[in-house]
Amino acid sequence: MSRFKWGVIGTGRIARTFCEALGGVPEAELYAVASRTAEKGEAFAKEFGFEKSYGSYKQLAEDEDIDVVYIATPMSAHFEDAMLCLENGKNVLCEKSAALNCEQLGIMLDKAKEKDLFFMEAMWMKCRPTYLKAMEWISEGRIGKVRYVKADFCNIVEYDPNDRLFSPACGGGALLDLAVYPLTLAADALGAEPDEIISSAHIGRDGVDLSNSILLRYKDGAFASLNSGFEIPNTNNAVISGDKGLIVLGNWFFCTCEATLYDRDCKEIEKSVIPNIVNGYEYEIEEVHRCLSIGLKESRIVPHSSTMAVMKIMDECRKSWGMKFPQEMKKMPGGS
């Protein structure tokens, strides 16, 4: 397999975790990193072994040697950063949630199509072997017809007005940051288009949701019950129940290395335990490499349609809560 020159935009928390994985994938070349601050970029490049660093995202986007750019900025910046990369002919792996809303995402996907470039949301959960094993059990009919999904992603995050998580301007809130995982699982197990979406949220002092609860009802009477938030601890496992059995994805379901299949009497039938090779992010990197090496513009594991379907539900939820990002009060989807 060929080697791919990666560019990384943003030097925050997830960029560090991702670059640790990048360093463990032989086909990945840690080529360039960009920060809004040249010194931060230089320090990050030195720490992770990047060949180049830039003090602006534009400079990185214009580097002709880059094969693919990983965007690790806050949600509010994804639209601008992805459009910058796509306009400059770069393939893109963009952190979740890929955009603030469907309008932005639609423009980003159209741009990728127009420029004939690869675009994937960094929904790493969908690339993980344990998750794929659970999906395989479902498609093989091992649990019968799926009737119910329960998935939570809650933890305690101390309030910090400077943290993007609490900032409307940064696209903060538990919905786009956390609920995107349970919603993606529900869409994979039950379908992308529920018949009914019932949701409620606790909106904090800054105007973003600190916790939320979402109930999806499907045409055939199946349900998904999903909870996310920054205010309560939780085991964060996921249960996918069918009329012949059930699957439990272990605690922290989106990054677990363990999936268990039970029959309808809750007797264990099979357990899948697949340890990470690096830290679990290597699988999405390998998926990007696989797509690029065969010229795919869209991953079959993380298709655009799935990213859009989940975004649609999140738009619906926010609409019912009356929660808008400041960018949405202005005319253009990017907020300019």
Ligand X SMILES: NC(=O)c1ccc[n+]([C@@H]2O[C@H](COP(=O)([O-])OP(=O)(O)OC[C@H]3O[C@@H](n4cnc5c(N)ncnc54)[C@H](OP(=O)(O)O)[C@@H]3O)[C@@H](O)[C@H]2O)c1
Q: Which residues does the annotation mark as catalytic?
A: 96
Q: Is 7 in the site for ligand X (CB under 6 A)?
A: no
Q: What are the strands, taking DSSP E only, across the chain?
A: 4-9, 28-34, 52-54, 68-71, 91-94, 119-121, 146-154, 196-203, 209-217, 223-229, 238-242, 245-249, 258-263, 268-273
Specify the stretch interacting with ligand X by CB under 6 A; choose among 4-12, 46-54, 211-219, 266-274: 4-12
Binding to ligand X in span 110-169, by CB under 6 A: 122, 124, 164
Q: Is the dihedral of CA 165, 166, 170, 172 positive or negative?
A: positive
Q: Does residue 75 belong to the site contacting ligand X (CB under 6 A)?
A: yes
> Residue 162: how many CB atoms within 10 A of its CB?
7
Candidates 5, 27, 36, 215: give the one binding ligand X (CB under 6 A): 36
Place of tokens 């990007």: 288
Q: Which is nearer to ligand X, 34 or 146 (CB)?
A: 34
How many alpha carbons lie under 13 Å from residue 316 in its C-beta half-sphere? Answer: 17
* Secondary structure E strands in 128-285: 146-154, 196-203, 209-217, 223-229, 238-242, 245-249, 258-263, 268-273
Binding piece for ligand X, criterion CB under 6 A, among 46-54, 72-80, 101-109, 187-195: 72-80
Q: Show the binding pattern over residues 86-105: x = contacts ligand X (CB under 6 A), - = does not.
A: ---------xx---------
Task: Confirm or reject binding of residue 73 to ligand X (CB under 6 A).
Answer: yes
Task: Output 119 or 124, the one with its CB closest to ligand X.
Answer: 124
Q: Is 40 in the site for ligand X (CB under 6 A)?
A: yes
Does 170 bind ligand X (CB under 6 A)? Our answer is: yes
Q: Does 204 bind ligand X (CB under 6 A)?
A: no
| Residues 317, 228 contacting (CB under 8 angstroms) | no
> What does DSSP assign to residue 76?
H
Within residues 13-32, the interface with ligand X by CB under 6 A covers 13-15
Question: How would you classify the pairing of strands 28-34 and 52-54?
Answer: parallel
* Binding span for ligand X by CB under 6 A among 6-14, 62-70, 99-107, 237-245: 6-14
Residues that bind ligand X (CB under 6 A): 10-15, 35-37, 40, 72-75, 77, 95-96, 122, 124, 164, 170, 177
